[in-house]
Chains A and B, each alone.
Chain A
Amino acid sequence: MQNYPKAIADLIDELRKLPGIGPKTAQRLAFHLVVSGKSSIDMLIDSLAEVRDTIGYCSVCGNLTDIDPCGICQDPKRDASTICVVGYPKDVLAIERVGGYKGMFHVLHGYIEPLKGVGPDDIRVKELLARVKDNPNKVKEVILATNPDLDGETTALYLARLLKPLSVKVTRLARGLPFGADLDYADEVTLARALEGRSEV
């Protein structure tokens, strides 16, 4: 049985909630922090507090931002007639890293996951529809850049069904991406090619 002081046990419990952190890693991180000294703990606390206090979701696209609307949504040089729909904020980063894309984004914050009971109402579908409907002359193309796996595909099919009657062009990333891949894992060349070669659904 473990006999850590309660504060350390609590810290281990908190760290274990992070993705990809098992009990052993949590324990190692906790001990590392404990012995790392006051100033490095303070720096960590400060940066967590900074994130907590300044970072939120963009009210337009749902991306993580410290201003609202976010820098992308506010940028007059970007093309507001194209919206690229992604699952998570990290996917915006992946596409921005590639560089070629000059349109807007919409972050769903999840995918339709039937086996987890996550349906369209649980992700930002309503918000996407509103963006398209409220700007009928403005939004000309919606690019579905959901992950090329089963849940991403399900979500894309669902969105295509909703969007097509709104007479907006709906496209899907080209099939260069390996099935089952995560968007933010794709290398830049593959992702750039997938964006260029998108096709209408």
Chain B
Amino acid sequence: MFYQSEGIVLDQADLGENDKIATIFTRQEGLVRAVVKGAQRPKSKLRGLTQPLTHGLFQLYRGRSLERVTQVSMRNGFPGIIQDYEKMIYARYLVELLTNVLPEKERNRALFDLFLAVLGCLEQKEDPWVVVRWAELGILKLAGFAPSFSRCVSCGNGVQESLQASPVYFSLRGGGALCSECTSQVRPYGELIQVSPGTLRTLELLSTAAASAKPSPCPNITARGQVRAEINEVSRKYIAFVLEKRLKSAPLVESIEDDNSSK
């Protein structure tokens, strides 16, 4: 059976001696793994068209076992990402995050639309950092792991009020901010990360932007210095906590961020 769907190629690997297998995030069917026949041959047309980060219209054939890519009409290859080392690493990192939270063959149009918007913003924006932190929050939210930055995850009170008084913490296990009152009581919260008011506000802004309806506009927020460093820490630790592992591309992302902050 043939079917068509808009999709984004996320990854591609060799299959046997002649073929490749592409992981495609389709709008229609969610994550699909499909064989690209003959794609290891130099003259294969489908080979270039199924390179990771290709957005297009895919015609697929559903056989008895594996699916097969039969035709691609390419819409965008995101050259602005592919010609920039940092953007490229970030894009591949977001792909890895996405494939870790997205079950195979489960339609998730909101997540598809977000991811497409994220690639567009990554290509456009000069500073990819904010796009990536925004994208992470959006992906986590749509996958059901949205952290809370405005209300205390323990008592539900607004945390902004307690900001002036004393430091606020982010609880990995609680998945959000803790007010000072709750922090001062017993600590069943696991690891806590102390965050400044600016960090919490920026995270809240990013997470609201990530939740806004499509088409998602690129986030118009930025952060520097201490705030950026704290946001990085929350993001790294929270994602590792939720996934119960470190993403393989995380060290490359971290080395870019740590390099940039020492400049």
Binding site for B on A (CB under 8 A): 20, 22, 112, 114-117, 119, 149-150, 153-154, 157-158, 160-161, 178-182, 185-187
Contacts and interface: CB of A to CB of B under 8 A. Distances in A.
A112 B255 CA distance: 13
Given A114-B96, A115-B95, A117-B251, A179 B85 contact: no
A180 B48 contact: yes
A158 B92 CA distance: 15
B42 A186 contact: yes
Contacts of A180: 39, 47-48, 50-51
8 contacts: A20-B16, A114-B93, A114-B96, A115-B11, A115-B249, A178-B47, A181-B42, A185-B41
B42 A187 contact: yes
Interface string B13-57: 000110000000000000000000001111000011011110000
Interface string B63-89: 000000000000001000011110011
A31 B236 CA distance: 52
B92 A178 contact: no
Interface of B: 11, 16-17, 39-42, 47-48, 50-53, 77, 82-85, 88-89, 92-93, 95-96, 248-249, 251-252, 255
Contacts of B53: 150
A117 B88 contact: no
Contacts of B16: 20, 22
B196 to A, nearest CB: 31
Contact of B83 (A119, A157, A158): A157
Nearest to B249: A114
A157 B92 contact: no
Contact of A117 (B42, B51, B82, B249): B249
Given A150-B51, A150-B52, A150-B53, A114 B85 contact: no
A192 to B, nearest CB: 15
Contacts of B48: 178-181
Given A117-B251, A150-B53, A153-B88, 18 more contacts: A20-B16, A114-B93, A114-B252, A115-B95, A115-B248, A115-B249, A117-B249, A119-B251, A119-B252, A150-B88, A150-B92, A154-B88, A154-B92, A157-B83, A157-B84, A158-B85, A182-B40, A187-B42
Contacts of B251: 117, 119
B249 A178 contact: no
Contacts of A149: 51
Given A115-B96, A117-B251, A154-B88, A20 B17 contact: yes
Contacts of B83: 153, 157
A112 B252 contact: yes
Contacts of B95: 115
The 6 tightest CB contacts between A and B, nearest first, are: A117-B248, A157-B85, A114-B249, A185-B42, A114-B92, A180-B48
Given A178-B48, A182-B42, A115 B85 contact: no
A115 B42 contact: no
Contacts of B89: 114, 154
B118 to A, nearest CB: 16
A119 to B, nearest CB: 5
A186 B249 CA distance: 30
Contacts of A186: 42
Nearest to A184: B42
Contacts of A179: 48, 51, 77
